[in-house]
Amino acid sequence: MPIIQVEDVSMRFNLAQEKTETLKEYAVKLLKHQLFFNEFYALQNVSFSVEPGKSVALIGRNGSGKSTMLKLIAGVMYPSTGSVTVNGEIAPLIELGAGFDMDLTARENVFLNGAVLGHDRAYMQEHFKNIIDFAELWDFVDVPVKNYSSGMIARLGFAIATEVKADILVCDEILSVGDFMFQHKCHQRMEQMLSGGTTLLFVSHSIEQVQQLCKRAIWIDHGHIRGDGPSAEVCSAYVAAMERGE
């Protein structure tokens, strides 16, 4: 049985045709039915499935619908039409700092994130040392996260998400942040998870990272699937299309 099943999914957003300066103006126009919208489809009739333990990349240009698809799979959003079925526990790494309270320290955020992921305090206490060791943040563990750099936040988020066991790791451009050595550590950790049976759904603009981590790639173009197959073949077709200016 697939661990991820996406069936005929479309995601529609309404874009206001005119600008409103204030919330009051927006509310008045809404009540008077004077607000008009343009419909924008981030995804249209997308279907695919992922088997347990597989590594799959979503590739495509900015605005193609990749991140929207990840958010639908992670349960952050729900599709306008179609269905997304996930048969397992997800560790989402979609946005830097998502799930963090920026006024709390790293120590406090570890336990907060653990609770969000469904783990009790004792479980997170057991894994706390490994998390901070991996993130290399012992000197800043009791500093509010709002004072962290984006790279430090990424390290903490990645360490939490990959220390606690999950069936599916959903990762969006997270490896583009941080220095070379930490990126190398992340790659090693993800390869260990894959060898242990974790399913990876990965978004990156780095074709090298995609081919290194994922055996399969799904190319999304303007909300439609344009290619789906071995990552080397799909990535080559994607790069060729970009070079042609498509």
pTM of the complete model: 0.79
* pLDDT value of residue 226: 96
Predicted confidence (pLDDT) at residue 23 exceeds the cutoff of 70:
no
- Please state, as a whole number, how many other Cβ atoms lie within 10 Å of the Cβ of residue 12: 14
Which one is predicted more confidently, 109 or 28?
109
Q: How far is CA 16 from CA 25, 42, 63, 80, in A?
A: 13, 16, 18, 18
* pLDDT value of residue 38: 61
Let me know the angle formed at the C-alpha of 208 by 203 and 211, rounded to the nearest 5 degrees: 70
Question: Which range among 7-21, 70-84, 110-124, 159-173 shows the weakest confidence by mean pLDDT?
Answer: 7-21
Burial of 129 (0-12, 13-18, 19+ CB in 10 A): exposed
* pLDDT value of residue 137: 94
CA distance 14 to 39: 5
- 4-88+167-243 folds as Rossmann fold (3.40.50)
The strand pairing partners of 131, in sequence order, are none
Q: How far is CA 220 from CA 87, 176, 190, 223, in A?
A: 23, 20, 23, 6
Q: What is the mean pLDDT of the chain?
A: 85
Burial of 20 (0-12, 13-18, 19+ CB in 10 A): middle
CA distance 235 to 228: 10
- pLDDT tens by residue, 67-106: 899 889 988 889 999 999 999 888 777 765 667 899 999 9
The strand pairing partners of 217, in sequence order, are 57, 229
Mean pLDDT within 4-18: 82
Predicted confidence (pLDDT) at residue 188 exceeds the cutoff of 60:
yes
Domain ranges of the chain: 4-88+167-243, 101-164
* pLDDT value of residue 111: 93
Query: Phi, psi (5° rounding) for residue 89?
Result: -85, 135
- pLDDT tens by residue, 125-179: 999 999 999 999 999 999 999 999 888 888 888 888 888 778 998 888 766 656 6
CA distance 213 to 235: 13
For residues 50 and 72, is the Cβ–Cβ distance under 8 A? no
- Please state, as a whole number, how many other Cβ atoms lie within 10 Å of the Cβ of residue 205: 13
Question: Which range among 173-177, 226-230, 242-246 shows the weakest confidence by mean pLDDT?
Answer: 173-177
Predicted confidence (pLDDT) at residue 205 exceeds the cutoff of 60:
yes
